[in-house]
Structure 1
């Protein structure tokens, strides 16, 4: 039998309603209903409480192949072998409840942080605890925080992920001093949709300069552009033409930005 079947059988044999069992456990009746329908699994402490209430072992509750109830036993009667088994089961259940996540932290540490930290895998019920977040100089995981962060969600100086937040950020959604992604937000933002002080892409909004198919900024370069100073794509633009336009309105523009936006303006389409 499965856990849900065993729970329902034990509750009925004990003459308890779902509401009565919920009251003894300090949970809602809906929680007990979900356990018995197999759509949810109780937390470790609740499994131990169920073991005590029904006088069966935690092993019996969670192992489908155990059909005969095993006594939960008393503290003085618990053998060393049973204690080892129980400790192992607690570890297994903890991993199950928290989610199956691969964890690794290198022994080498810098400023108290692991050089490499990895947290990767399945998280139960979509709930992500800080214990499942990779935190290190180099962090890799579902969620990662580090100097270099690689993950579905990354936070750090240099981030690479679906969602990235950092000094230099690369992702589908990216935010940072330099942001590069499908959606980018930053001091320098490059993406399909980009918003920043300086922005480039398909659609860009900037506080100073924007170069995009559709550009909105005080200085705007694009096929469709709006701003105080506008350079339209027309029949095409060359890098020297864009450079001359930028220098006219921003004579002190930092050389790398001048080179970048000269190139962007010449390759909008």
Structure 2
């Protein structure tokens, strides 16, 4: 179980309503509701208070793989145990960071930021080379990344590679840009992929564009590839309607 499920189960075990739990912790009922829905996480002090109230460890609350709560200690939670719990939860929220001493202008050459719990803008890695949960740099690598060259789950950049990529040139399962390449590609000018939609040229299994090449294609100029279509035929067709097309892009 995750934290939200454990909190709901513990509250019901004690016969408390969300309002009653909120009163005990000094928070609003909406806060408790968000914790139980997974929309938010309580701060450190509230997690410790929850562990004391329900007589479970902080480990049990925050670590999904721990399914059974530890038996309560006799006489309540000791000071040493509380200190241990604070250290455990501090590690959970801790940000690991490192910046190189070499700097270019105001930015470190390399900036690394990893937080163990969630994506927070204040924990963004910013550098010429940036690596982290959220990364911004000339070369950026992260869950969310933005840069000249950007690689991540969600990436934005001049050249963007990611599960969801936005860029001048974007490559990924879902790619959006001037040039977009991927299973689902949306290009302002050019797009290539399984499903390709573009303002100028779209090439794909299903293609929609001013000039469209594909098994199913829709546009002003259409070439259906069929069984016998060759690369040379495609190049000839594209040059016929776009004679100034950049040659490396044509071959690609």
What TM-score does the superposition give when structure 2 sets the normalisation length?
0.69
CA gap of 1:46–1:239, structure 2 versus 1, over 3 A, is: closer
Match of 1:220 among 212, 223, 227: 212
- Aligned runs of 1:1-269 on 2, under 5 Å? 27-28=27-28, 43=43, 96=92, 99-123=93-117, 127-196=118-187, 197-260=189-252
Could you tell me whether the CA contact under 8 Å between 2:121 and 2:134 is conserved in 1? no
Aligned residues: 216
CA gap of 1:110–1:244, structure 2 versus 1, over 3 A, is: same
Instruction: Work out the CA distance in 1 between the residues paired with 2:162 and 2:31.
Output: 38
Instruction: Work out the CA distance in 2 between the residues paired with 1:41 and 1:251.
Output: 57
Instruction: Work out the CA distance in 2 between the residues paired with 1:41 and 1:205.
Output: 40
Instruction: Work out the CA distance in 2 between the residues paired with 1:233 and 1:70.
Output: 73
RMSD over aligned CA atoms reads 3.9
Shift of 1:131: 2.9
Structure 1 spans left out of the alignment, 5+ residues: 1-17, 51-60, 73-85, 261-269
Could you tell me whether the CA contact under 8 Å between 2:115 and 2:123 is conserved in 1? no
**Rg larger for:** 1
SS of the equivalent of 1:248 reads helix
Structure 2 spans left out of the alignment, 5+ residues: 1-17, 50-56, 60-69
SS of the equivalent of 1:139 reads strand
Instruction: Work out the CA distance in 2 between the residues paired with 1:137 and 1:117.
Output: 8
Shift of 1:181: 0.5
CA gap of 1:66–1:239, structure 2 versus 1, over 3 A, is: same
